[in-house]
Amino acid sequence: MSILKLLADSFMRILLPGLRVTIPLTLISFVLSLIIGTITALVQFANIRFLKTLARFYIWVIRGTPLLIQLFVVFYGLPNVGIVIDPLPAAIIVFSINEGAYSAETIRGALESIPKGQIEAGYCCGLNFLQVMWHIVLPQAFRVAFPSLANSLIAMVKNTSLAANITVMEMFMVTQQIVARTYQALALYLELAFIYLMISTILTKLQTYLEGRFNERGIQR
Amino acid sequence: MIEVKGIRKRFGNLEVLKGIDLKINKGDVVAILGPSGSGKTTLLRCMNFLEKCDEGQMIFDDEEFAMASVSNKKIHEIRNKTAFVFQSFNLFANKTALENVTLGLKVAKKINKAEADEIGKKMLDKVGLEDKYNAYPSQLSGGQQQRVAIARALAGNPEIIYFDEPTSALDPELIGEVLRVIKELADEQMTMLVVTHEMNFARHISNRVVFMENGSILENCETDKFFNNRTNERIRSFIANIMQKGE
Ligand SMILES: Nc1ncnc2c1ncn2[C@@H]1O[C@H](COP(=O)(O)OP(=O)(O)OP(=O)(O)O)[C@@H](O)[C@H]1O
Ligand SMILES: [Mg+2]
């Protein structure tokens, strides 16, 4: 079997788990991480003492430990205390909690960059804290944080390959299996790298496009 | 209408307000004058609870309460009946002029969008911005931004509007358009408390003048009486000084 034919045959076999697992895993984890990150940033911004301490602790632990070990703790470790989670949900949990700690810091910085006067003006219009956050601060903070969050999303697509270590059937895992049968490691791993590159490129293009859209509305500062 | 008694406020060791008593009647336009650092902004902020004072009573619509221990509910209630115009406009940068004006109506007062838009447009028309409904703050001049801020203040139909140096951040040629709007409100008997350095404005539009220095009120009298002051040397020199600068 020629290498070219192998590459052509394997392309769809690798891309399919990409579409079915890697991309959903990334998107779901990313959306959850944004929710976790936003809440973690908000409780710090609102200066709620107990929750703020908790938030700092969470960020400290997650940012201070390797992602791979976090995956192992949840998937291989938790069954020791009777908590058994399927590979894909385990990966989603770990990726969203991990990314949440990073995006919390990005979002907190963005929140703090919004002029205090707008917040006070919001209160003077009769809005409460959450309304001020939702209508005034978060939309602007999101634009500030957007480039950095988009970078995290691209990094996350690539990091999902780590999920192969906890038996998630994503692209890396599938490629490994094909390599095990065909011994064409170089060609196949290059092909896999190329698929990741394509996905990252599409996301980068999307990022540039969206940033342009934001700026069109005359809101950049 | 609104009265405060004995407001005290300190920042660390610095006592910024040393017992302020002030009563504002319906339809009053009160100008607050005084040198920089005398506590004018702080007084206004305390009255709208953007700053919590350490001591003081407030009587708002015949209800008296202690300002230092006021509940969030009461603050909310008072903010819905008052409005604040800031020196630096503080428009919501992610909202158009019309959205700036209607946000409080829609979100805080739960008025439906159609009705809120109608009120918003009316307010923007009133301040002469009928052609700027959909402009973002970054597309407006300082004078226009401040007029949007005034329209936003008016939209909630407040019982009193607080102005903190509404023209100080503006280029000289833009001051007039904002002052004209405020004068119109005065003619309509809007109750206003205005911190200003514009002597002519204070003289011709306010009916009372409060002169502050060092965290205290030195004088609180009718406007004519204030500007014809012959007795208080400190006030005379302040007026002379500012008039000179203004020329
Ligand atoms: N948040 C703060 N923390 C510490 N000190 C403050 C704070 N806000 C105001 N001050 C101090 O309180 C004093 C009164 O300030 P305030 O802004 O009320 O004066 P002002 O009369 O409005 O002056 P200006 O005419 O310059 O606006 C000043 O000495 C100022 O430095
Ligand atoms: Mg001031």
Atom number in ligand 1 closest to CA B35: 25
Taking only the tens place, the pLDDT of each residue in B99-150 is: 999 999 999 999 999 999 999 999 999 999 999 999 999 999 999 999 999 9
B169 vs A contacts (CB less than 8 Å): none
Torsion, Cα B137 B141 B145 B150, to 10 degrees, reads -160
**pLDDT score, position A220:** 44
Taking only the tens place, the pLDDT of each residue in A180-209 is: 999 999 999 999 999 999 999 999 999 999
B107 vs A contacts (CB less than 8 Å): 125-127, 131, 135
**pLDDT score, position B200:** 85
Residue carrying structure tokens 């944004």: A34
**pLDDT score, position A221:** 42
Spatial separation of the C-alpha atoms in residues B214 and B101, rounded to whole Å: 36
Quick check: A200 and A154 in contact, CB under 8 A? yes
Closest CA in chain A for residue B95? A136
Helix/strand/coil for A176:
helix
Give CB contacts under 8 A, 24+ apart, made by B111-120: B119/B155, B120/B151, B120/B155
Residue whose Cα lies nearest atom 4 of ligand 1: it is B11
Spatial separation of the C-alpha atoms in residues A161 and A164, rounded to whole Å: 6
* Nearest C-alpha neighbor of A200 from the set A162, A160, A154: A154
Cβ burial, residue B144 (10 Å; 0-12/13-18/19+): buried
Residue whose Cα lies nearest atom 22 of ligand 1: it is B41
Could you tell me the mean pLDDT of each successive run of 10 residues in chain A, 221 residues long?
85 89 94 97 94 97 97 97 96 97 97 96 95 96 94 94 93 94 93 94 92 70 42
Asked whether the CA dihedral A36, A41, A46, A48 is positive or negative, the reply is positive
What does the DSSP assignment read for chain B?
A: -EEEEEEEEEETTEEEEEEEEEEE-TT-EEEEE--TTSSHHHHHHHHTTSS--SEEEEEETTEEEESTT--HHHHHHHHTTEEEE-TT----TTS-HHHHHHHIIIIIS---HHHHHHHHHHHHHHTT-TT-TT--GGGS-HHHHHHHHHHHHHHT--SEEEEESTTTTS-HHHHHHHHHHHHHHHHTT--EEEE---HHHHHHH-SEEEEEETTEEEEEEEHHHHHT--S-HHHHHHHHHHHHHH-
Closest CA in chain B for residue A140? B94
**pLDDT score, position A212:** 87
List CB contacts of A83: < 8 A, sequence separation 6 or more: none
Would you say residue B94 has pLDDT above 70?
yes
List CB contacts of A186: < 8 A, sequence separation 6 or more: none
Quick check: B76 and B60 in contact, CB under 8 A? no
Would you say residue B159 has pLDDT above 90?
yes
Residue whose Cα lies nearest atom 16 of ligand 1: it is B39
Cα angle vertex A96, ends A66, A68, to 5°? Answer: 20
Interchain proximity A118–B139, CB inside 8 Å: no
- Best of B81, B90, B113 to mutate (most A CBs within 10 Å, chain A): B90
Cα Rg of chain A, angstroms: 21
Both structure tokens of B215: 């965290």
Share of chain B above pLDDT 90, in %: 85
pTM reported for the whole predicted model:
0.89
**pLDDT score, position A214:** 79
Q: How far is the CA of B40 from the centre of ligand 2 (A)?
A: 6
Torsion, Cα A116 A122 A125 A128, to 10 degrees, reads -120
Which amino acid appears at position A38 of this protein? T
Interchain proximity A122–B92, CB inside 8 Å: yes
- According to DSSP H, which parts of A125-218 are helical? 129-132, 138-159, 171-182, 185-216
The reply to whether B5 touches chain A by the CB within 8 Å rule is no
- The B residues from 85 to 114 touching A (CB cutoff 8 Å) are 86, 88, 90-95, 103-104, 107-109
What's B55-78 look like in SS3?
A: EEEEEECCEEEECCCCCHHHHHHH
Interchain proximity A124–B82, CB inside 8 Å: yes
A126 vs B contacts (CB less than 8 Å): 76, 79-80, 104, 107-109, 156
For B3-29, b where at least 16 C-beta lie within 10 A, e where not — what string?
A: ebbebbbeeeeebbbeebebebeeebb
**pLDDT score, position B177:** 93
**pLDDT score, position B2:** 94
Residue carrying structure tokens 């002052």: B179
Spatial separation of the C-alpha atoms in residues B40 and B37, rounded to whole Å: 8
Q: Which domains occur in chain A, in start order?
A: 3-220 (1.10.3720.10)
**pLDDT score, position B240:** 81
Q: What is the mean pLDDT of residues B150-171?
A: 95
β pairing state of B82-85 and B160-164:
parallel
Nearest residue, CB atoms, B108 vs list A115, A120, A127: A127
Q: State the nearest Cα–Cα gap between B221 and chain A, in angstroms.
A: 29
**pLDDT score, position A133:** 96
Taking only the tens place, the pLDDT of each residue in B96-106 is: 999 999 999 99
**pLDDT score, position B239:** 82
**Residue B145: C-alpha distances to residues A166, A206, B170 (Å):** 56, 34, 10
List CB contacts of A196: < 8 A, sequence separation 6 or more: A157, A158, A161, A171
Helix/strand/coil for A126:
coil
Q: What is the mean pLDDT of residues B37-60?
A: 95
Would you say residue B246 has pLDDT above 60?
no
**Number of Cβ atoms within 10 Å of the Cβ of B41:** 19
